[in-house]
Copies of this chain bind each other. A is one copy, B any other.
Amino acid sequence: MSFLDHIRHANNWNRADFRPFAVAGQVVGHIRLDRIDRLRAFADTFVIAPDHIALAPGLDDFASRSAAMEEVMEALRDEGEFPGWRGEYVPVMREWGDEPLMQVERATCSWLGARSWGVHINGIVYRDGGMHMWIARRARGKQTYPGMLDNMVAGGQPIGLGLMENIIKECAEEADIPVEIATKSRAAGVISYCHQFAGGVKPDQQFSYDLVLPADFTPRNTDGEVESFELWPIERVMETVRQSFAFKFNCNLVIIDFLIRHGLIDADTEPDYMALCLGLKQRP
């Protein structure tokens, strides 16, 4: 296998399996064809056209749209959808920086095919003359991707928080990183992909940050979502990404982007270099 396999796997979306979902005239999601019939019971909320699904007329502001969606999504939840429902809300909008059109519970996002955003933090330590990266292993009981390898800290972007505010929160919860260290996280760009899976489709954009940690600091999980942390030489991280699917799918992309930015993947030696550089920024 190769690094490029991770880009392909993360961008496995087949548009033909979905119908666009529009709010306020903007396509903000895609709903799987076999799920559309479940929305017919909610004629006050949805208009189901042959080529798209829209919110019903009258649902014309943030509050009314969010309330109507909440009612439908709760009904589906009570029928067994969305086992990961936690009462955490995310904005629905077409582009990062837009005014949110409504909010929905995080677990419903992929079902609706709404774009979501998040932060991933590469935790770096320089010691013994080399670069090392903190690797997390996700808890076995976690709803999504249990037991898989992960970036040191990562989290979806909830409504109403800035990126650095979310970094501070996630650093504290996931790795017990104090605020004075967390705020040293340095923005380093974005990865963008569109991933189809059992839950629906995730057209995600993840903001990447690098955080150089003191050599004597050890992350410690406080919210039960991480089983363990290990400090790996960067070469081991690189070979694990190159040769396996041990990391949660999107963490591979964050790490490939890191390796490119730090010159550890190089165009003179990596035949897929151009495809990797461009493939990390796909936008369907």
Q: Which residues of A contact B (CB under 8 A)?
A: 95-97, 162-164, 186-190, 192, 205, 207, 209-210, 260-263, 265-268, 271-275, 277-278, 280-281, 283
Contacts and interface: CB of A to CB of B under 8 A. Distances in A.
Given A274-B205, A278-B192, A281-B278, A263 B186 contact: yes
17 contacts: A95-B274, A95-B275, A96-B273, A97-B272, A97-B273, A162-B268, A187-B267, A187-B268, A188-B263, A189-B260, A190-B267, A190-B277, A192-B277, A207-B267, A261-B261, A277-B281, A278-B283
A96 B267 contact: yes
A282 to B, nearest CB: 9
B188 A274 contact: no
Contacts of A268: 162-164, 187
A274 B162 contact: no
A69 to B, nearest CB: 24
- Chain B CB count within 10 A is highest, among A263, A272, A275, A283, for A263
B267 A188 contact: no
A274 B115 CA distance: 13
Given A187-B267, A190-B278, A278-B283, 13 more contacts: A95-B275, A97-B271, A97-B272, A97-B273, A97-B274, A162-B268, A186-B262, A187-B260, A187-B266, A187-B268, A189-B261, A190-B267, A277-B281
A260 B190 CA distance: 9
Contacts of A278: 190, 192, 281, 283
Contacts of A283: 278
A197 B113 CA distance: 40
Given A162-B268, A164-B268, A96 B263 contact: no
